[in-house]
Structure 1
Amino acid sequence: MSPTSKLAPPHAAPVSGPADVDPGDYYRSICHVPEPPHTGTKKKKIYGSAEPRICTPPLRPLTPETTLGYDVIEFAENVLHLKLYPWQKVLLCRMLELLPDGTLRFRTVVVLIARQNGKSTLSQVLALWFMIVWGWPLVMGTAQDLETAEEVWQGAVDLVEEDDELSKILKRVVKVNGKKALEITDGATEKTKARYKVKAANRRAGRGFTGNLIMLDELREHQNWEAWGAITKTTMAQAEALILALSNAGDLTSIVLRYLRKMAHEAIGDPDGICEEIGASGPTALDLNELTDDDEELDEDELAEFEQDEDTLGLFEWSTAPGMDERDRQGWAQANPSLNWNPGFTERTIAAACRTDPEWVFRTEVLCQWSEGTLTGPFPPGSWDKGKNEAEKLPDGSLRMGEEHRIVTDVVVGLDQSHDRSMTYVAFAGHRADGVAQVEIVAARHGSDWVKDYLMDDKRRDRIRSVAGQSKGAPISPLMVTLAEDVKFTIPVVEWSGSDLTAGWADTYDSVRDCTVRHNPQPVLDVAAATAVLKVFSAGASIPDHRASPAEVAPLMAFTAAKWLLGRKEVVPPPPPPAPEAVRTADVDSSTDNWAQQGF
């Protein structure tokens, strides 16, 4: 195959057979998944499973007419001179399945697999194939840690530069920090045919670009929807695009990965029984509002653009089955498909980690099992979820909060900022129709210049009684001083500092423990409540610690400020003294004379 050839979409046969159709004999033979070879030793080696334990099933047998995977395998072996592992071949055939019209079946692919199994090589092969063979003009690699994305990119650069044929179509390699790019030509001219760029996974990822293949490494690290929302928008204008997310198992803070995994598990019958337990929800207007180009909040139609379509979502999960003993070597093979296929990745390597790692470090990193995270965080296990309102499901499948879960009284406001002052969170606290206290995060945006106008807006000003945020020694403190001194800001600013801070946290802790405060399901708040680390003072009082916590705790601090303000007894100033009664001048003169006579 010529590295510059353009593969036309193959003609595909009509769809037939059930959803769980067998992949086909040809698929098994081309992917070379033999029986593990006998070594002649007393103990038979255990080889990693080429097939994912859980996956979105194909619509029909996977042949060269129904998937692009075979072409990518041929490209890897004959052009890049790479020997792929069986699991990599299986994944390529499954994830690049075609619809009858020759277009890709999946627009979003999530691959869950334990560490050190060869995800980077797979990403490099896909990036170069889509650039060189399929002709997609922009490939973008991202990771929460930019260095990780750059390492994968560098591997692709090396494959091109070190090959005599591929180097002929290399236009240039940009190695300037923050602008790294690999550019190739069409082979006949110097015109750029395709680029491979790298970006950090944040709300600015992909701004100004229209991407075709977007590769996200370690999606488990996405603790909010900003990067996912920004990256998703880069593919909206493309008739064909693919978002590939590769990751190890996550935990309670991995809100994007949890949502996508739950949707995929639900679509294939919930094989591990996780869907009811997770109760994950997609991004809300609060999560994505900063990705819009104006100051208006997202409406339902705009929000729907970010929701995942389960028909175009594919999941391929190599993980140890729930309930298996951590020492069970068959479970090791389920989560580590490169086991013993890679000569340096042996059972002895995994056994050493099993002996030395804490159980859930081993289960997450090596067995690709999810940590529920319910035993961590500042509240008694399960208490935060008990206070969470349950959304009602509408006939169209969307969720909304019922009227009984709405604040109907006037509200007080709690404010807080992230430790780097990049985000400001606004919480409202009030009472529902049943008299129960409720606190909600109602806004979360970058910076703080918008807070005054937001609170003073005619739509909400009349309902707001007062506002509080940590008055001293916190990222939010300068804003609280500014609001207090602003004569045009007519909402009373209540000082919250000293012992009131720890008293406020104690009140929040007690209210959550005793289920006397309600809150809506909001990932930005739920993650903070599940992971906050407390700063304990010498007297035993405590408060969430911005810097020590693994996820941002500012939403929880805004919640706490609002809850404290709601329960605070308002100090009513005494009435002014009555005006003095009018007296006659003669009486005043007489009184003055009397005081003079007494020596005063």
Structure 2
Amino acid sequence: MRDRLEQIAAADPEQADVLEIVPRLLEWQRWVLIHALELLDGPDLIFRFRTILLLVSRQNGKTVILIYLLLWRLFQDGARTIVGTAQSLDIAEEAWDAVRQVAEAIPELSNDVKKIRTANGRQAIILDTNQRYKIAAANRRGGRGLSGDHVVLDELREHQSWDSWASVSKTTLARKRAQVWGVSNAGDSLSVVLRHLRGVALAALGIDEMHDTPAGDVDDLVDEDGEELEVDIDESALGIFEYSAAPDAPMDDRDAWAQANPSMGHTIPEAAIAAALATDPEHVFLTEVMCRFVNTAASGPFPNRSWEATRAEKVTRDTDRPATYCVDTSWNRQMTHVALAFWDTDGRRRVEIAASRAGTEWVIPWLLSPERKIEPEFVTLQTRGAPVSSLVPDFENAGIELVEWGGPDLSRASGVIFDAVRRAVDEDAPEVVITHGNQPVLDLAATTAVMKPLSDGWTIDRQKSPQDAAPLLAVMGALWLLNTNPEPTGSAYDDEDAGVLVF
């Protein structure tokens, strides 16, 4: 294709501009395309990977890869429907417009084009065979009603909910030779979709890094309305192509720059990266230039990296010690979360979100369900002055006894969880005393929640937090109750000669 464009530009200098849109592929770009498009054995030419995750630092040529890929799938491979999305339509239009210009410049391609729609938000290239490449909005309605052979989700780091993924990626379910491409540089704590997909891929590869997100339980994922999402990711059909600096590499390590910038020395001058290092804030340089995941969406209530340091994928509950529940509702009452706290067999406290759904009506039936392995023997919530407080009469009617949580105990709960999480990055602390798993709904709350003063302490401000902070408040309440709850009858401490001090 590039050779043909050069011939056209040589014959007609007015067409020379298109050469800047599609430069020759660099070796790393060729390598990605060759291996991302590997085929399985068999006559149907099925792609080895149905989902491709491409991560590389900014300005390295991700869009160039997409242009070649999209042109090939539309004009040569025979994909019937291609859907391009990005959180900003301007970004999705960039690749689409480049494909349009190339198609119009090369007669062998333009002869196959029946129609090009350029109306904003309705852009589409339609061939004589009714194959088409269109742009869709990155929202819950973007892909509805479509069946796609190829889907591109550009700037995947900006997807802060599963809405777009749920609507657009599922357009490929009925197509045998379909692929979904997620393209991005590194994300932050709000990059829910990117972090989860990357975590699934890393877990399949046996990679477990503290700053990464291990694979979670996809059955626990919900959309913004609390509807359960079936994010069915077959790890054997997921290909990750990541160019990023080593986790422990210092920011001035030029070899690490090359790891995250495969175009360095070709289209990106090394001096430009050095200039960025001298001027960028640390989190900007790490994310944009070294393609490393950092927690920068907001400071949250905890010291930097401490929340990540308390992550542990699997623990075993100590069934001889109590477990506690806490319920909390978002400030706008859209979502309700049930947190669980318990002791593990290593003597650490564990906090998890056991359930997250829309509304409040489901909470008591869920707690009383015979499917609960942990009965609601110890349950708390803010009984006054909080959105969840309206549930108190319902709990009384259901016969669930609540432990009141409020007043000074709110700030005590804040101090308890802060001290426990802080220990993870305290060099003088002998060990980690609290853990949590990989749960985006909790991670978002823990790394973005805004604090507000409360008497001599602080608590979480639900309304001013940029994301739903109720999961964190639920965890705080469950942990507070776990700390104050007496050991149950029959525990290992019931020996009459044993002295027990309960904090």
TM over 0.5: yes
Counterparts of 1:376 and 1:549, CA distance in 2: 11
Report what 1:216 is aligned to: 153
Counterparts of 1:260 and 1:547, CA distance in 2: 29
Report what 1:96 is aligned to: 37
Report what 1:185 is aligned to: 127
Residue 198 in 1 paired to residue 136 in 2? Answer: yes
Q: Which residue of 439, 443, 446 corresponds with 1:527?
A: 443
Counterparts of 1:230 and 1:480, CA distance in 2: 35
Residue 173 in 1 paired to residue 106 in 2? Answer: no
Q: Which residue of 317, 320, 330 corresponds with 2:242?
A: 317
What are the equivalent positions in structure 2 for 1:227-238 lying under 5 Å apart?
Answer: 228=165, 231-238=168-175
Counterparts of 1:519 and 1:201, CA distance in 2: 34
Counterparts of 1:122 and 1:92, CA distance in 2: 7
Q: Which residue of 239, 242, 245 corresponds with 2:182?
A: 245
Give the drift of 1:113: 1.4
Change (3 A) 1:325 1:186: same
Report what 1:41 is aligned to: none
Counterparts of 2:327 and 2:79, CA distance in 1: 48
Counterparts of 1:334 and 1:433, CA distance in 2: 40
> Which amino acid counterpart does residue 414 of structure 2 have in structure 1?
W
Q: Which residue of 350, 355, 361 corresponds with 2:278?
A: 355
> Which amino acid counterpart does residue 131 of structure 2 have in structure 1?
K
| Structure with bigger gyration radius | 1
What are the equivalent positions in structure 2 for 1:74-223 lying under 5 Å apart?
Answer: 82-86=22-26, 87-101=28-42, 102-145=45-88, 147-157=90-100, 159-160=102-103, 166=110, 169-171=113-115, 173=117, 175=119, 177=121, 180-186=122-128, 192-200=130-138, 206-222=143-159
Identity of aligned residues (%): 34
Give the drift of 1:329: 5.2
Change (3 A) 1:141 1:159: same
Residue 440 in 1 paired to residue 352 in 2? Answer: yes
> Which amino acid counterpart does residue 235 of structure 1 have in structure 2?
T
Counterparts of 2:306 and 2:48, CA distance in 1: 42
> Which amino acid counterpart does residue 32 of structure 2 have in structure 1?
L
Q: Secondary structure at the match of 1:558?
A: helix
Residue 509 in 1 paired to residue 418 in 2? Answer: yes
RMSD: 4.6
Change (3 A) 1:505 1:364: same
Report what 1:16 is aligned to: none
Residue 562 in 1 paired to residue 470 in 2? Answer: no
Residue 364 in 1 paired to residue 308 in 2? Answer: no
Q: Secondary structure at the match of 2:117?
A: strand
Unaligned runs of 5+ in 1: 1-71, 392-400, 571-600
Q: Secondary structure at the match of 2:136?
A: strand
Contact kept, 8 Å, 1:260 with 1:308, in 2: the verdict is no
Contact kept, 8 Å, 2:378 with 2:403, in 1: the verdict is no
- Of residues 93-102 and 545-554 in structure 1, the stretch that sits farther from structure 2 once superposed is 545-554
Contact kept, 8 Å, 2:67 with 2:95, in 1: the verdict is yes
Report what 2:460 is aligned to: 544
Residue 287 in 1 paired to residue 225 in 2? Answer: no
- The one-character-per-residue Cα deviations of 1:360-419 (angstroms, maximum 9, x if unpaired) are 42232123234478x96534567656765552xxxxxxxxx54x35697574332132x6
- The one-character-per-residue Cα deviations of 1:265-309 (angstroms, maximum 9, x if unpaired) are 6777x8xxx6354574324155335699x98x89xxxx7x72432
Contact kept, 8 Å, 2:152 with 2:180, in 1: the verdict is yes
Change (3 A) 1:166 1:467: farther
> Which amino acid counterpart does residue 126 of structure 2 have in structure 1?
I
- The one-character-per-residue Cα deviations of 1:498-525 (angstroms, maximum 9, x if unpaired) are 5443233223324545789755413225
Give the drift of 1:441: 1.0
Contact kept, 8 Å, 1:524 with 1:555, in 2: the verdict is no
Give the drift of 1:457: 4.2
Counterparts of 1:504 and 1:518, CA distance in 2: 14
Counterparts of 2:110 and 2:406, CA distance in 1: 64
What are the equivalent positions in structure 2 for 1:482-497 lying under 5 Å apart?
Answer: 484=393, 490-491=399-400, 496-497=405-406
Q: Which residue of 234, 237, 252 corresponds with 1:308?
A: 234
Change (3 A) 1:543 1:231: farther
Counterparts of 2:204 and 2:346, CA distance in 1: 37
Change (3 A) 1:213 1:83: same
Change (3 A) 1:127 1:97: same
Change (3 A) 1:281 1:328: closer
Give the drift of 1:215: 1.3
Contact kept, 8 Å, 2:339 with 2:355, in 1: the verdict is yes
Change (3 A) 1:361 1:289: closer
Alignment size in residue pairs: 462
Counterparts of 1:146 and 1:504, CA distance in 2: 44
Give the drift of 1:490: 4.8
Contact kept, 8 Å, 2:187 with 2:195, in 1: the verdict is yes
Contact kept, 8 Å, 1:531 with 1:549, in 2: the verdict is no
Calculate the TM-score normalised by the size of structure 1: 0.62
> Which amino acid counterpart does residue 104 of structure 1 have in structure 2?
F
Counterparts of 2:248 and 2:434, CA distance in 1: 34
Contact kept, 8 Å, 2:349 with 2:433, in 1: the verdict is yes
Contact kept, 8 Å, 1:480 with 1:493, in 2: the verdict is no
Q: Secondary structure at the match of 2:234?
A: coil
Contact kept, 8 Å, 1:139 with 1:196, in 2: the verdict is yes
Contact kept, 8 Å, 1:467 with 1:493, in 2: the verdict is yes
- Of residues 113-122 and 329-338 in structure 1, the stretch that sits farther from structure 2 once superposed is 329-338
Give the drift of 1:355: 1.6
Contact kept, 8 Å, 1:135 with 1:193, in 2: the verdict is yes
Contact kept, 8 Å, 1:139 with 1:214, in 2: the verdict is yes
> Which amino acid counterpart does residue 509 of structure 1 have in structure 2?
F
Change (3 A) 1:286 1:259: closer
Counterparts of 1:448 and 1:78, CA distance in 2: 66
Residue 275 in 1 paired to residue 208 in 2? Answer: yes
Contact kept, 8 Å, 1:437 with 1:516, in 2: the verdict is no
Q: Secondary structure at the match of 1:237?
A: coil
Q: Which residue of 400, 415, 419 corresponds with 2:328?
A: 415
Q: Secondary structure at the match of 1:139?
A: strand
